[in-house]
Amino acid sequence: MPVSVPVPYAESRPLPPYRALFAVDAKDFTGLPAAQHGPVSRLIPELVDQALERAGLHDLRDAKRFPASTGDGVVFGFDPAFLPFVLWPFVQVLDETLGAYNRQSVGPRVRLRASVHVGPLPDAGEPGDGNGTARNDTHRLLDSRPVKAILAAASEQVTHLAAIISDRVYEDVVLGAYTGLHPERCIEVPATVEDKNFAQRAWLYVPSPSGSLVRAGVPVREESGPPSPGQDGPERSGARYRGNTQHVGEGAALMGNVGGDFTYTGRSTSYRGTNQHWGSGDNVSGDKQIQGTGERG
């Protein structure tokens, strides 16, 4: 039976249900030897599920909608009611889970970018469920310059995860105070993707900043256990925040040493954030030295 493709604006039709989306992919996955691609691809969803379990999100782990492997990561939809707990404590717990794995692993380190978004998506148990603008934007956020740059700037010994949160999620969940993630721990950025017609305001959250990120004023938390889904936010759990305000316009730069200099440059932007203001940077340049090994940012 041929598939019927709707004609835009010809008639009104029911809006698909809103679904939250979580996606991750691995830094430098394509640089791994081919023999490691399969094992690392299978490992990533295992680590995500471990973190969901540790964060007390058993129901979410078992109720993912249209989950899919992307080769170097995973993506899945879920009920937006879980969004507050995905932002806190799950993202922090995932960072800790990755850190525990990387410290004991003799194989390649697994460092992830994550994106969180929400929007209307078909979810009727049919082929093609989960496809739509919200899904596309989730992957664009994941591939955007700021989240790639901030993970490249950090020490691989300390920073295992960088998350980018869509403005819609930030406005509804973070500013709405439904989550334990404090707004002061988020940095406003213009999310753009090279060679793609994509530009949105978004928010970076780095659970364990290090190196240049600390010197640039990315909020730092004390080591303390994350709250369970039934607890209040980080201010009640003993977390503290420190940082400065860095205004970045044209020729934006985040400078500091992780065994070298990291620079994030670009055009001026009118976006203004709570703690730190970035340009719509185009370039990541410089060397990052970690225990004698060089990595081009």
Q: Tell me the mean pLDDT per 10 residues along the chain, length 297.
A: 84 95 90 83 94 97 95 95 98 97 88 98 93 97 94 91 98 98 95 93 94 62 43 35 34 33 37 39 37 36
The answer to whether 128 and 103 have CB atoms below 8 angstroms apart is no
Q: Residue 294 and residue 150: Cα distance in Å, rounded? A: 17
What pLDDT does 52 receive?
Answer: 98
Is 109 among the domain residues?
A: yes
Q: Residue 191 and residue 184: Cα distance in Å, rounded? A: 19
What pLDDT does 254 receive?
Answer: 38
What pLDDT does 141 receive?
Answer: 97
Is 282 among the domain residues?
A: no
The answer to whether 123 and 65 have CB atoms below 8 angstroms apart is yes
Is 163 among the domain residues?
A: yes
What pLDDT does 129 receive?
Answer: 95
The answer to whether 145 and 152 have CB atoms below 8 angstroms apart is no
Is 233 among the domain residues?
A: no
The answer to whether 166 and 253 have CB atoms below 8 angstroms apart is no
What pLDDT does 167 receive?
Answer: 98
Q: Omega before 146 cis (within 30°)?
A: no
Can you list the positions of beta strands (E) in the chain?
Answer: 18-26, 65-69, 73-78, 112-120, 161-166, 187-192, 199-205, 263-265, 283-285, 287-290, 293-296
One-letter amino acid for residue 192 of the chain: T
Is 248 among the domain residues?
A: no
CATH number of residue 85's parent domain: 3.30.70.1230
Is 244 among the domain residues?
A: no
The answer to whether 146 and 191 have CB atoms below 8 angstroms apart is yes
Q: Note down the domain range covering 84.
A: 18-213
CB count within 10 Å of CB 46 equals 12
Is 256 among the domain residues?
A: no
What pLDDT does 39 receive?
Answer: 81
What pLDDT does 176 receive?
Answer: 98
- β-pair partners for 162: 113
Single pTM value for the model: 0.74
- β-pair partners for 19: 119
What pLDDT does 40 receive?
Answer: 86
What pLDDT does 197 receive?
Answer: 92
Total tally of structural domains belonging to the chain = 1
Is 239 among the domain residues?
A: no
